[in-house]
Amino acid sequence: MNPSFDLGYSISVVPHLRTILRKLLRQMSTPRKSQVCLHNSTVIMSSTIHPKTKSFYPTILQVRPTTSRCRPLPQEILEKIIDLVAASSHYPYVELQNCALTSKAWRIRSQFHQHKAKYIVRADDGNSLVERYRGTRLAGYVRSLILEGKFDGDSFYELRWKPFQEIFPYVDHLHLKDVFHRITIKFPSPTPTFPQLTSLSLWWVTFPTCGSFITILRTLPNLSYLKLGRIKWHCVDHPEDTTADLRTQLNLKRLEIESSEGLEELDCVDKHLDLSRLEVVRLYWLGGYELRRALTKTRIDKLTHKARASLQSLTLVVKIFSFLPVDPGYTRLTVNSRLEDLTIGVLDLAQTSSPKVDYNWILDTLSDLSPTRFRQCKILLRIEDMSRFSDVPWNRIDNALCGSRFTAFETMTIAITDRSWLPWVTNDEPEKIGVSDVLPVARHLLPKLTGRNALEVVGASQYR
């Protein structure tokens, strides 16, 4: 009779068993599965006077398909393994290629990882990018695409939208940016093109008209995140924008707008898009002279009123020059009652000798918040001199937030900006005011929040 099968003994005896087991592990990740069956060899004894020594160990390794096949390795696990190998600093790029040689499924997932996030800097032409990916299967793996244009004299970085969406049909995050806002996009008829695109970010992009910008949004039925920065129009009031029906129903959840001079982005979005489902709104205005027109009740209040049923987080960052007179149009900002997170940024670049800025509108805004839902408040400050820090009514803010009205309030955060956070500041001198300077003063001016351990003073890099 054959003795019991010992795997360790078999590995030491059979020289190629390690290689065979490695092949079996490779086959476990393929759709067709096999079952390993080990059969002991049948020893035939010859009728001789001196028989040879009997050897009882496996000599035949049979791999045969069975009816009860094993389930293939889930694609999620394959992707996790590929991401772990590619992202780890201990495994170089060669290890990812070796992983791809394991099986066809591993090769597909590794190619997906290598091409799912593409960052193309200073491409010669958007159309040449399309032609380079045309006829290959690699474009189907791209999920996130960041395309930075190149400005060369008076030439325009041109990107035709229809061929672009045909080559990259499965992109879910698209970011187009150019330093000198020289990207011009041509639009076809408003038919759905990017069914999986959920995030769109445009930076320094120039459109012919506001209608052409809305036309591209109508081709994105599942768009939920829209970020606009320094968008320009060749013609703001175009006849086609007034005659055509540009209203579109988008399921926008998050909207971010950053403007340097005008507010055309907000006007265009507010006029042509449905903003009733917004949950997060972030508005950054860097233009000081546009502040009065930006903070009037007919602008911000109109936007927050449309999203009053769903808005949960509001961020408003403005740049205030202290030499500007106080406009009563922005002394109060009315927000809805469902707001949970409010961020107000006051970027004061004035010197000590300039007149003081009236910050009481921040306190008036807090009085409109829901007492049972409001949880977090952030105030972003940019102050050149420490004497400006006491201009904010901290004592009244401390009493309002720690009173009996706001029962769900948790954290008050003061974020101090630096020059790297502000794109218009080019001075290389060291910062005069830092977190270490503001923290003891803030604890002294906000004693109730300090006692409740609800006060935080951080840098702007941690905030944004």
Identify the pLDDT of residue 326: 43
Q: What is the DSSP letter of 223?
A: -
Identify the pLDDT of residue 159: 66
pLDDT band at 148 (very low <50, low <70, confident <90, very high): confident
Which tens digits make up the pLDDT trace of 172-201? 888 877 644 444 455 445 565 677 888 998
CA distance 404 to 112: 54
Q: What is the mean pLDDT of the chain?
A: 65
Average pLDDT over residues 21-42: 48
Name the burial class of residue 265, with classes exposed (0-12), middle (13-18) and buried (19+) by CB atoms within 10 angstroms of its CB: buried
CA distance 270 to 43: 87
Q: pTM for this one?
A: 0.66
Residue bearing the bigger pLDDT, 119 or 312 = 312
Name the burial class of residue 270, with classes exposed (0-12), middle (13-18) and buried (19+) by CB atoms within 10 angstroms of its CB: middle
Whether 44 has a pLDDT exceeding 70, the answer reads no
Which tens digits make up the pLDDT trace of 408-462? 888 888 887 655 444 444 444 445 567 777 888 888 889 999 988 889 888 765 4
Angle between helices 75-87 and 93-100 (to 10 degrees): 160
Name the burial class of residue 310, with classes exposed (0-12), middle (13-18) and buried (19+) by CB atoms within 10 angstroms of its CB: middle
Which tens digits make up the pLDDT trace of 390-413? 778 888 888 888 887 888 888 888
User: What region does 370 belong to: left with phi over 0, alpha with psi -120 to 50, or beta?
Assistant: beta
Structure tokens at 337: 């009652």
Which residue do the tokens 């795997």 mark? Answer: 7
- pLDDT exceeding 70 applies to what percent of the chain? 42
How many other C-beta atoms can be found within 10 angstroms of the C-beta atom of residue 349?
16
Q: Which of 272-281, 308-317, 332-341 has the highest mean pLDDT?
A: 272-281
Average pLDDT over residues 71-99: 58
